[in-house]
């Protein structure tokens, strides 16, 4: 297969592939944290750089080493091509390039995460200030080179990362790809539902559903004639007129019915015009909600 038959990967596809690679690593980290979430806090802190390196090594083993492409590239049907190779029969990333890529990406990131601990452990070496300044300049130079490489990538679409340019590998389509069709139908639908959800999140807390419920029950469900507390019978002490259970901390509002304190108090706070759902007796003020007075006669009848 000749080099001309390998279609150059689009910039957006390469950027999407790198984002997918980051998401896969984040997903594996979250799964690992879920495994140890019931352990003592901080149990993974001491070995976190090693765990991250092990996860990256596992991803590299089953992606770049096995398929010649990262996870994100495999999803988007991309593959690493060896630009330095003149062998038409073997155009893909070589074994040497695969291992160098793993050494730099995995080992380099581990060394960066452990640099502080390594510096403290080998503090007795007493590196001269000149060597420290040289390391700082090298780090800054690498960052500047990375930025310049990315600007060049935005211009010509080749070598998204500086390490790819140094190793001579680039992302290509192993098979011919048709032109990418961009549809905004899904995006429009998502934006519409997102705006509708934002509207609901704003408007729902402003609606007093308890008041609407009480209004519907008052006007749609017929109630009994109003009665006084003096006509209260034995069954009234055993059932809350709102929830139907045995009254907890029994209270009354002036009619024969008995309520749980939380039932009658919460309904009144939600709707000051709340009436008894059985007989329609209204609550004049909050002072009208009083504890039920159980007399000797009521105890004898119950």
Looking at every residue in the chain, the average pLDDT score rounds to 81
Single pTM value for the model:
0.55
Looking at residue 179, what is its pLDDT? 58
**At a CB cut-off of 8 Å and minimum separation 6, what does 289 contact?**
251, 252, 253, 261, 264, 265, 268, 283
The residue whose two tokens read 């001309």 is 4
Q: What is the pLDDT of residues 253-263, one digit of tens each?
A: 888 888 999 88
Per-residue pLDDT tens for 215-234?
A: 777 666 665 555 555 677 77
Domain borders along the chain are 3-175, 210-301
Q: Which of the pair, 101 or 208, is modelled with greater confidence? A: 101
CATH class, domain 210-301, is alpha beta
Tens digit of each residue's pLDDT (9 = 90 or more) over 10-38:
888 899 999 999 999 999 999 888 888 87
Q: Can you tell me the mean pLDDT for 129-155?
A: 85
Q: What angle do CA 158, 161, 162 make, to 5 degrees?
A: 100
> pLDDT-derived band of residue 1, with 50, 70 and 90 as boundaries?
very low
How would residue 295 be classed by pLDDT, with cut points 50, 70 and 90?
low
The rounded distance, in Å, linking the Cα atoms of 243 and 260 is 8
One DSSP character per residue, 40-98 reads: -TTTTTTTHHHHHHHHHHHHHHHTHHHHSS-HHHHHTT-EEEETT---TT--B--HHHH
């Amino acid at each position: 297969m000749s080099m001309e038959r390998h279609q150059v990967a689009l910039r957006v596809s390469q950027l999407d592939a790198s984002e997918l690679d980051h998401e896969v690593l984040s997903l594996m980290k979250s799964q690992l944290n879920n495994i140890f979430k019931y352990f003592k806090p901080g149990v993974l802190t001491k070995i976190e750089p090693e765990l991250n390196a092990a996860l990256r090594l596992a991803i590299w083993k089953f992606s770049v080493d096995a398929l010649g492409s990262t996870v994100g590239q495999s999803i988007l049907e991309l593959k690493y091509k060896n630009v330095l190779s003149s062998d038409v029969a073997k155009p893909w990333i070589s074994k040497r390039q695969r291992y160098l890529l793993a050494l730099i990406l995995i080992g380099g990131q581990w060394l960066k995460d452990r640099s502080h601990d390594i510096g403290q452990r080998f503090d007795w070496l007493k590196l001269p200030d000149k060597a420290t300044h040289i390391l700082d300049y090298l780090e800054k130079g690498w960052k500047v080179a990375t930025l310049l490489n990315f600007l060049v990538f935005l211009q010509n679409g080749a070598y998204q990362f500086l390490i790819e340019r140094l190793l001579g590998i680039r992302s290509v389509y192993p098979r011919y790809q048709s032109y990418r069709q961009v549809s905004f139908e899904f995006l429009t639908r998502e934006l519409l539902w997102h705006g509708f959800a934002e509207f609901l999140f704003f408007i729902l807390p402003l609606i007093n559903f308890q008041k609407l419920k009480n209004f519907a029950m008052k006007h749609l469900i017929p109630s009994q004639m109003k009665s006084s507390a003096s006509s209260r019978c034995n069954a009234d002490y055993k059932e809350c007129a709102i929830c139907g259970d045995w009254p907890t901390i029994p209270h009354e509002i002036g009619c024969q019915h008995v309520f749980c304190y939380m039932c009658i108090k919460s309904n009144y706070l939600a709707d000051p015009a709340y009436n008894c759902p059985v007989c329609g007796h209204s609550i004049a003020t909050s002072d009208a909600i009083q504890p039920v007075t159980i007399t000797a006669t009521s105890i004898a009848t119950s």
